[in-house]
A = this chain, B = another copy of it.
Amino acid sequence: MRKLRHSKRVEITLIDRRNFHLFQPLLYQVATGALSAGEIAAPLRAIFRRNRNVRVLLGEVTGFDLTKRRVVLDRLPNGGEPRVLEYDTLIVAGGSSYSYFGHEEWRRLAPDVKSLESALDVRRRILTAFEAAEVELDPARRAAWLTFVVVGAGPTGVELAGQIGEMARDTLRRDFRAIDTRSARILLVEVADRVLTGFPPRSSARAKVALEQLGVDAVLERRVVEIDTESVTLAGPGGEAQIVPARTVIWAAGVVGSTLAAALAGQSGAALDRVGRLPVGPDLTVAGHPEVIALGDMVAVHDEGGRPVPLPGLAPVAMQQGRYAARLIRDRLDGKRTPSFRYRDKGNLATIGRARAVADVKGLQLSGFIAWLTWLFVHLFYLIGLQNRVLVFIRWTFSFATHGRGARLITGAPKRPR
């Protein structure tokens, strides 16, 4: 999008449900009080204010008509007919959500960290749990308030568990009078046999050690079979069940493609894969519709031979695909052929806590302070807007110097008491 905005040859309409771009990779820092919500979001209209060929439209896409080349949107706030837009080229980047493995009722018990709202809900729950423990006299109940379960040990789960560990071990240590926050248990539940399965095994092992130093127990080869308001039930490969009393559960597992993938599949006749992703060709277009480009977490890229290309569900992939889509459109206007999309793996980064991270950059596996510094500057670089970069840099500097988290606020009333 940003690659096309200076082109006078195209008219762009950007449709989004939200009026801001959210930098998802740092959302877990909002959930743990390290950053304030506004610091990782940039208003879309502000980004494109000087690009008269870009129109921003706030709305939810409810369907497509690929034959008539139309996008169907929700109704206007004051009612009327659903809005319809025509296109020459359509780019769909609907992202992904968490599946809860068919247990939609777990969503309210174990929120995810996918939207600003759910991140603030998670922040409220984590901080409220420490407050409840501080005034709880019964040791078993207090221990349940001080037990935090993170489900899924991908980058988001690992980073989240590490941050909760750091809060308990460091940030909040001197905040309370009745409890020792360092006694908090943080369980990182993962169905695979290691954390960060997208990284090489050596990085996984290093991440596990770093997590343990922050008091995070990686509970491997276990899946969640039940969640209620007071506990989580885990089952091992043999099926043996274990009940963990815990009042705070956070979900970061089971990524599935956006419902927009299904809407496109219904129109194009393509079949979604088992995690709800739409198959697209080597040029990211939908079969039979070269004018429809789909990208990001919601697609499974296939090569010239029709074989799926394994790509991680990470921001760098989606960003490179976005730039590729812009190039494809420019090349078509120029009558040029565009080579197939190739993901350039510039490396994989995950931070675990203060000055701890793992990095896997072109076969070089870094950890510790250097990996953490790399992580820090890469994330600052990709944040949109100079102002947000400066604000986040200042937050991080203060956090590093004072071991604090300035945004640990309990806001928003719980919609349903847990």
0/1 interface trace, chain A 26-54, chain B, CB 8 Å (1 if under)? 00000001011111011101100110100
Q: Are A404 and B46 in contact (CB under 8 A)?
A: yes
Q: CA of A410 to CA of B37 in the docked complex: distance in angstroms?
A: 12
Query: Shortest distance in angstroms between A37's beta carbon and chain B's nearest beta carbon?
Result: 6
0/1 interface trace, chain A 79-94, chain B, CB 8 Å (1 if under)? 0000100000000000
User: Which residues of chain B have C-beta atoms less than 8 A from A404's C-beta?
Assistant: 46, 387
User: Which residues of chain B have C-beta atoms less than 8 A from A20's C-beta?
Assistant: 409-410
Does A413 touch B at the CB level, under 8 Å? yes
User: Which residues of chain B have C-beta atoms less than 8 A from A398's C-beta?
Assistant: 386-387, 390
Task: Say how many copies of this protein the assembly contains.
Answer: 2
Nearest to A13 among chain B residues (CB) is B177
Query: Shortest distance in angstroms between A137's beta carbon and chain B's nearest beta carbon?
Result: 9
Given contacts A39-B36, A76-B136, A132-B76, A46 and B117 within 8 Å (CB-CB):
no
Given contacts A78-B132, A136-B76, A136-B78, A406 and B388 within 8 Å (CB-CB):
yes
Query: Shortest distance in angstroms between A28's beta carbon and chain B's nearest beta carbon?
Result: 15
Q: CA of A55 to CA of B175 in the docked complex: distance in angstroms?
A: 9
Interfacial residues, chain A to chain B (CB-CB below 8 A) = 18-20, 33, 35-39, 41-43, 45-46, 49-50, 52, 55-59, 76-78, 83, 116-117, 127-128, 131-132, 134-136, 141, 172, 174-177, 385-388, 390-391, 394-395, 398, 402, 404, 406-413, 417
Q: Are B175 and A46 in contact (CB under 8 A)?
A: yes
Q: Are B394 and A49 in contact (CB under 8 A)?
A: no
Given contacts A174-B49, A411-B117, A394 and B391 within 8 Å (CB-CB):
yes
Q: Are A409 and B43 in contact (CB under 8 A)?
A: yes
